[in-house]
Chain A
Amino acid sequence: MNAFITRLGKAVGNVVGVLYQAGRDAIDMVIKNVLPFIAFIAFVIGLILETGVGEALADGLSGLASSLPGLLLLAVIIGLPVLSPLLGPGAVIAQIIGVLLGTEIGAGDLDPALALPALWAINPQVGCDFIPVGLALGDAEPETVEVGVPAVLFSRMITGPLAVVIGWLFSFGLYS
């Protein structure tokens, strides 16, 4: 009986220890990686929204979104290696253009069948601002980061517009 209680106590203690350590790791990760990123993003988003830069940019780009060639051009522009890291943070630009396009679809100015290629066209820059951090989270060596950042950015020049074409192919029969 004594032995059983000892074993039970040890097993429970072990599980509680694992859970407690898991909580400690989670808090560590949030404080070291997530919160600093949120602080940075909040600053950038505040600046973009309050100065009107974001809206001006989104207004200019949403004119392109009414046809497939326009969407392709949009993806090419957003996917440029110089622009993509600047447009990435917090997916602010993608969300602003997304909301604008959604409004136009709702108003009947834009074909709802184009919604799928549009979802891909507003987002070729996804994560381009975050490559060094993302690779560091994956324990990458500094040499890998040095190679990985341009590799992802160059790759997006091809796969950004390609994703729009794939989205367009899969939009056949959608809302028609």
Chain B
Amino acid sequence: MFDVLADAATEFISWFQRGAETFNGLVVGIVPLLIVLLTAVNALIALIGPERVNKFGEWAGREGFAYTPIRYLVWPVISVFVLTNPMAYTNGSFLPEIYKPGFYDSAVSFVHPPLGIFPHVNPGEFFVWGGILAGITELGLNESDLAVRYLITGFIVIYIRGLVTEWFTRRLWATQHENAPAAA
């Protein structure tokens, strides 16, 4: 009777012990680097002056199709490279509201494609790339071939994601604002 209870208790606590190991791994593995990196980038932005970064953001947020590569390719790539996951999404604050979901989609989709070359962007989720990479190394094939192609397809995919998400955002926005007066 007590054995069963003890086994159940062991099983129960083991769920949280595994969680605690994961917590430990993430805090030790990511947080120190994140804090130092964040401090450096915060200081850099403060010394450059937020108004200049703002200006680039405003530039990225302009109307017109010509600015979409800035908004959904250049800006998210710079954001992810410099600020890394999850800080990169704060750069959405420089854009008008309607573009924020598209920017988020572009930026968040870029947190894995550079892992083969710049693992600092998202070390906590390295095995999205590292898992498949392990098979390639096992076969003795050149990993850079795959890493470069993953990065290049990343550029293409995040641009498309930004555009498609912006289109959905506009449609849903229009529906919301149509319904709002009726509901009020």
- The reply to whether the CB of A69 lies closer than 8 angstroms to some CB of chain B is no
Most buried by B among A18, A131, A140, A166: A140
Say whether B161 contacts A22, CB under 8 Å.
no
- The reply to whether the CB of A67 lies closer than 8 angstroms to some CB of chain B is no
Instruction: Name the one of A101, A103, A126, A155 contacting B164, with C-beta atoms under 8 angstroms.
Output: A155
Dominant secondary structure at the A interface = helix
How far, in whole Å, are A158 and B139 apart by their CA atoms in the complex? 33
How far, in whole Å, are A166 and B160 apart by their CA atoms in the complex? 11
B: number of interface residues (CB 8 Å): 80
Say whether B161 contacts A155, CB under 8 Å.
yes
- The reply to whether the CB of A8 lies closer than 8 angstroms to some CB of chain B is no
Say whether B173 contacts A147, CB under 8 Å.
yes
Interface segment, B1-9, B62-70, B102-110? B102-110
Say whether A155 contacts B165, CB under 8 Å.
yes
In chain A, positions 86-110 with a C-beta closer than 8 Å to chain B are: 90-91, 94-108, 110
Say whether B104 contacts A127, CB under 8 Å.
yes
Chain A interface category by residue count? 35 or more
- The reply to whether the CB of A159 lies closer than 8 angstroms to some CB of chain B is yes
How far, in whole Å, are A47 and B26 apart by their CA atoms in the complex? 16
A32-60 to B contact mask, C-beta < 8 Å, 1/0: 01110111011111110111000000000
Say whether B138 contacts A106, CB under 8 Å.
yes
Chain A interface residues (CB < 8 Å from chain B) = 15, 18-19, 21-23, 25-27, 29-30, 33-35, 37-39, 41-47, 49-51, 90-91, 94-108, 110, 112, 115-116, 118-120, 122-123, 126-127, 130-131, 133-135, 137-141, 143-144, 146-152, 154-156, 158-159, 162-163, 166-167, 170-171, 174-175
List 21 contacting pairs A-B, 8 Å CB cutoff, sorted by A.
Answer: A23-B39, A44-B19, A45-B18, A47-B15, A49-B22, A94-B128, A98-B128, A98-B131, A99-B134, A102-B133, A106-B136, A107-B138, A116-B146, A119-B146, A133-B86, A137-B89, A138-B91, A151-B168, A159-B157, A174-B149, A175-B136
Known: A95-B128, A144-B100, A163-B153. 8 other contacts (CB 8 A): A18-B43, A47-B19, A98-B128, A106-B135, A119-B128, A130-B86, A147-B169, A162-B157
